[in-house]
Structure 1
Amino acid sequence: MRKKLLCTCMGILCFSIGTVLAQFSRPVSIGAGAGVTYNLTDLANVKTKFAFYGEADYLISSFISVGLHGEKGTLSGNGYNSEFENRYFAGNVNGKVRIGQFMGHTNNYSYYTLQANTFSRILSNVYVGAGAGLVKNRIERRLDATYAEGIAKQAGELADDLGEIHFVVPLNVGVDIPFGRTLYGPQWGININYQHTLTTNDNLDGIKNKNNDQYGFVSLGVKYALFNRK
């Protein structure tokens, strides 16, 4: 009896380990995390700063999702005896496609994970994505008079609205690593993500010059799957 029980437990354990990296089997997940930002602006001496986010995703299939992403953080830089700090808010709608969409057995991923090796299971959860959203600036700046004059001579300008809202395009690359096997599949996940945000306005630093500003956000987060997939 004990041997049968032991064998049963070992079998359950092996099955759990073999499927722990499967994509969520539940269609809706929520997540939160934090990381560091850096900016590509006119004041190019970058200071990395803290940011955090919250998000919700819906799985269209095991490997394609759409979601909402909210973010709060700080961008900071200096140069030419000048400096700025932008305590921004941002939000976007985005879509992600995972490599597993182009691998075998995408309609039955649980069966696929029983055959695939660990590398293939992790690879299948690597994704790329893009979206559209808004960022609200909260800029504080200190500009050297000589630098401000130089901006004017180059046909640039100092932004009057330091709390401006403008359109952004976030680009994402990352990986979801689900864990916590249940009867319905993994319920938790670790998310590692890099988001590069393109703006349509050269005003993340309060200086409008020739090129639009950009910023990057490297983050580590946790995801939790909600309702059962039917």
Structure 2
Amino acid sequence: MAKKLLFTFFVTLSLVIGTASAQFSRPISIGAGAGGTFALTDLSNDGAKFAFYGEADYLITPFLSVGLHGEKGKLKGSGYNSEFENSYYAANVNGKVRIGQFLGNSENYSYYTLQTNMLSRVISNIYVGAGVGALKNRIKHQLDPAYTSSIVDRSGEIADDRFGVHFVIPLSIGVDIPFGRTLYGPQWAINVNYQHTLTTNDNLDGIINSNKDQYGFVSLGLKYALFNRK
């Protein structure tokens, strides 16, 4: 029984690899979406908050892309009789590589997308990405005097610059699910993404301490491909 299951697994994997399908055959895509953020800061996360984004990608190959991403959202935390809210703006330049980049595929991606199955399309478009960017704070906080004193006593500080811009490093993992077949391949895709953003100055909450602040962003979006690849 175990041998049969193992054989079935490898046959299925071979079929998936053999029919990998690109997200898009077109060279440019635009997208937008929304989701929830959660803060990883000195004060505990205070539930998921809303954020939305817009982006544009240039596909070097149908599985390898570079792009621009803009984001607007909120982060909120509380604890020690204190709280903060950050209505932030963020933007980054990023690159993504999809599993299909490492599989054997025909150069005629448009032909491939007409014959492949949905499972192959999904697996081929699982990706990881990384980028560099900037985040602009708009922090409001209400801090208990005793908590403020404890921060200062531990060599921390309360940030004077609550509206500053600082450097961030976004890391992402997700999947594009293409749909809408045409002679040039799919033109639409549903995007499911998790982005984890690292900061460099520990100031998402207005409290500068020993640990660098971070935040996560889970989103659902829609992408549309433009133009035809020559």
Q: Tell me how far apart the structure 1 counterparts of residues 105 and 45 of structure 2 sit (CA, whole Å).
A: 48
Residue 117 of structure 1: how far off its partner (Å)? 4.7
Identify the residue that residue 86 of structure 2 maps to in structure 1.
Answer: 86
Q: Tell me how far apart the structure 2 counterparts of residues 105 and 190 of structure 1 sit (CA, whole Å).
A: 22
Query: What is the SS of the residue equivalent to 1:25?
Result: coil
Residue 114 of structure 1: how far off its partner (Å)? 6.2
1:161 correspondence with 2:161 = yes
Matched ranges for 1:71-110 at <5 A: 71-105=71-105, 107-110=107-110
Query: What is the SS of the residue equivalent to 2:187?
Result: strand
Aligned partner of 2:107: which letter?
A: N
Residue 120 of structure 1: how far off its partner (Å)? 2.7
Residue 22 of structure 1: how far off its partner (Å)? 4.0
| TM-score of the superposed pair, with normalisation by structure 2 | 0.87
Q: Give the alignment's Cα RMSD to 1 decimal.
A: 1.6
Matched ranges for 1:1-230 at <5 A: 22-105=22-105, 107-113=107-113, 117-230=117-230
Q: Tell me how far apart the structure 1 counterparts of residues 60 and 182 of structure 2 sit (CA, whole Å).
A: 21
Aligned partner of 2:226: which letter?
A: L
Residue 109 of structure 1: how far off its partner (Å)? 3.3
Q: Tell me how far apart the structure 1 counterparts of residues 110 and 228 of structure 2 sit (CA, whole Å).
A: 15
Aligned partner of 1:129: which letter?
A: G
Aligned partner of 1:219: which letter?
A: S
Over 3 Å counting, the alpha-carbon distance change for 1:179 and 1:113 in structure 2 is closer
Residue 115 of structure 1: how far off its partner (Å)? 6.5
Aligned partner of 2:23: which letter?
A: Q
Q: Could you list the runs of 5+ residues in structure 1 that have no partner in the other structure? A: 1-18
With 103-112 and 156-165 compared, the bigger mean Cα shift is at 103-112
Residue 119 of structure 1: how far off its partner (Å)? 2.5
Q: Tell me how far apart the structure 2 counterparts of residues 34 and 180 of structure 1 sit (CA, whole Å).
A: 22
Query: What is the SS of the residue equivalent to 2:151?
Result: helix
Aligned partner of 2:150: which letter?
A: G
Partners of 1:62 and 1:106 within 8 A in 2 = no
Partners of 1:104 and 1:112 within 8 A in 2 = no
Query: What is the SS of the residue equivalent to 2:181?
Result: strand
Query: What is the SS of the residue equivalent to 1:182?
Result: coil
Residue 108 of structure 1: how far off its partner (Å)? 3.4
Q: Tell me how far apart the structure 1 counterparts of residues 111 and 91 of structure 2 sit (CA, whole Å).
A: 36
Partners of 1:76 and 1:83 within 8 A in 2 = yes
Residue 178 of structure 1: how far off its partner (Å)? 1.4
Partners of 2:74 and 2:88 within 8 A in 1 = yes
Encode CA deviations 1:129-158: one digit per residue, 9 max, x unaligned: 000000000000000000000001000000
Q: Could you list the runs of 5+ residues in structure 2 that have no partner in the other structure? A: 1-18
Query: What is the SS of the residue equivalent to 1:121?
Result: helix
Aligned partner of 2:121: which letter?
A: R
Q: Tell me how far apart the structure 2 counterparts of residues 23 and 59 of structure 1 sit (CA, whole Å).
A: 10
| TM-score of the superposed pair, with normalisation by structure 1 | 0.87
